């Protein structure tokens, strides 16, 4: 997991460099994903400009060139020609948590995030009973998967949902404890 997060810009580069053949040749390729890949392409280029320390926390919205429009060809099943839409290079955030950390905090920020994630996995999964580790591992995997394709890192409602999910899983661990009188 750590390696994937650290290498995310390199892992996505082949995808972002070959968007046209991908859209043309993959059946039912979602149009929303087309724009997402173009966002990632723009983000990876900006990461390369400031790879060590990034652009600064919460700067995704103000990255130079982010609000410039880019032509996007959307495949339309009922038409011979693609639907052409102009959309921003980087609307709000990169829609990929690892790329957002790289963009805003650079390599050093990503190393801190990886260390934090390793600590979370150690304390919440590895050092726990099998009954507690399974659901928590699934929960953490789901959170990371969503972060890699969807929401911005600092969206308060998403952070609240994560904490509520974590609290619910932790509360379930104590559901089978014997009553106080039975101890």
User: Please, are residues 50 and 106 in contact by the beta-carbon 8 Å criterion?
Assistant: yes
Residues 80 and 122 in one domain: no
pLDDT in tens, 1-38: 677 777 777 778 877 777 777 766 776 777 778 788 88
Largest CA distance in the chain: 74
d(CA 59, CA 65): 12
Residues 117 and 56 in one domain: no
- Tokens representing 154 are 């600092």
d(CA 23, CA 105): 31
Residues 44 and 121 in one domain: no
Residues 9 and 81 in one domain: yes
| Any domain includes 179 | no
Averaged confidence pLDDT in the chain: 84
pLDDT in tens, 107-145: 999 999 999 999 999 998 898 888 888 889 999 989 888
């Amino acid at each position: 997991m750590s390696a994937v997060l650290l290498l995310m810009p390199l892992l996505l580069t082949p995808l972002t460099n070959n968007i046209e053949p991908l859209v043309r040749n993959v059946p039912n390729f979602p149009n929303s994903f087309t724009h997402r890949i173009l966002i990632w392409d723009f983000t990876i280029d900006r990461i390369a400009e400031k790879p060590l320390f990034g652009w600064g926390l919460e700067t995704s919205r103000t990255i130079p060139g982010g609000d410039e429009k880019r032509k996007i060809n959307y495949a339309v099943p009922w038409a011979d020609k693609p639907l052409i839409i102009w959309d921003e290079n980087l609307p709000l955030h990169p829609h990929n948590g690892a790329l957002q950390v790289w963009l805003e905090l650079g390599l050093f920020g990503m190393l801190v995030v990886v260390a934090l994630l390793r600590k979370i996995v150690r304390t919440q999964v590895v050092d726990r009973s099998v009954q507690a580790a399974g659901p928590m591992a699934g929960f953490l995997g789901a959170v990371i998967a969503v972060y890699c394709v969807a929401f911005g890192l600092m969206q308060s409602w998403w952070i609240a949902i994560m904490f509520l999910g974590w609290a619910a899983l932790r509360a379930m661990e104590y559901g089978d404890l014997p009553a106080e009188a039975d101890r």
